[in-house]
């Protein structure tokens, strides 16, 4: 599909990239990293434009898939569906199109998973994110 999932990044502290329990997998908040480096940083509505924001959200979504894939032994077929994502957009106080930014993530999930990729969603603007990332996305999957 033109999307190559990266190696899932290892945790840097006392937490895990994903936890499975009771038919669900909870994926930790993912940043717009590629090859271990943050690709998009700064706040949308200030130093970052809408298109780069969308690209950041898409990269977060790719990393979410990498993490759930690692949790499932590499087999994305075990995903019954993506249940919910929360998308955090580092935002200047005047920026109010977080939903358009997060379409970059939503579109990627449907691109890769098809109908199973449609999800409930929360999109909000945050004052700041770790490492000055432009976006962060967490997810809950239903899995076999």
Binding residues (CB under 8 A) for a second copy: these are: 12-19, 21-24, 26-29, 43, 45, 80-81, 83-86, 88, 90-99, 103, 106-107, 109-110, 117-133, 136, 138, 140, 142
Residue found under tokens 């990332």: 133
Would you state the structure tokens that stand for residue 96, as one six-digit string? 């109010």
Residues in contact with 85: Cβ distance below 8 Å, sequence separation at least 6, in sequence order: 61, 64, 102, 105, 106, 109, 119, 120, 121, 122, 137, 138, 139, 140
> C-beta of 74: minimal distance to a second copy in Å?
19
Token pair of 50, please?
Answer: 């809408």
Cβ 39 to a second copy, closest distance in Å? 15
Distance of closest approach, residue 141 Cβ to a second copy, in angstroms = 9
Q: Which is nearer to a second copy, 39 or 86 (CB)?
A: 86
């Amino acid at each position: 599909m033109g999307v190559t999932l990266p190696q899932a990044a290892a945790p840097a502290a006392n937490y895990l990239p994903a936890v499975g329990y009771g038919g669900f997998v909870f994926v930790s908040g993912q940043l717009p990293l590629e090859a271990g480096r943050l690709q998009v940083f700064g706040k949308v509505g200030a130093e970052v434009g809408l298109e780069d924001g969308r690209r950041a959200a898409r990269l977060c979504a790719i990393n979410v898939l990498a993490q759930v894939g690692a949790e499932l032994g590499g087999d994305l077929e075990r995903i019954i569906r993506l249940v919910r994502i929360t998308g955090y957009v580092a935002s200047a106080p005047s920026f109010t199109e977080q939903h358009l930014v997060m379409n970059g993530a939503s579109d990627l999930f449907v691109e890769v998973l098809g109908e199973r990729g449609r999800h409930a969603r929360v999109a909000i603007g945050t004052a700041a994110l770790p490492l000055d990332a432009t976006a962060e996305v967490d997810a809950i999957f239903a899995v076999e």
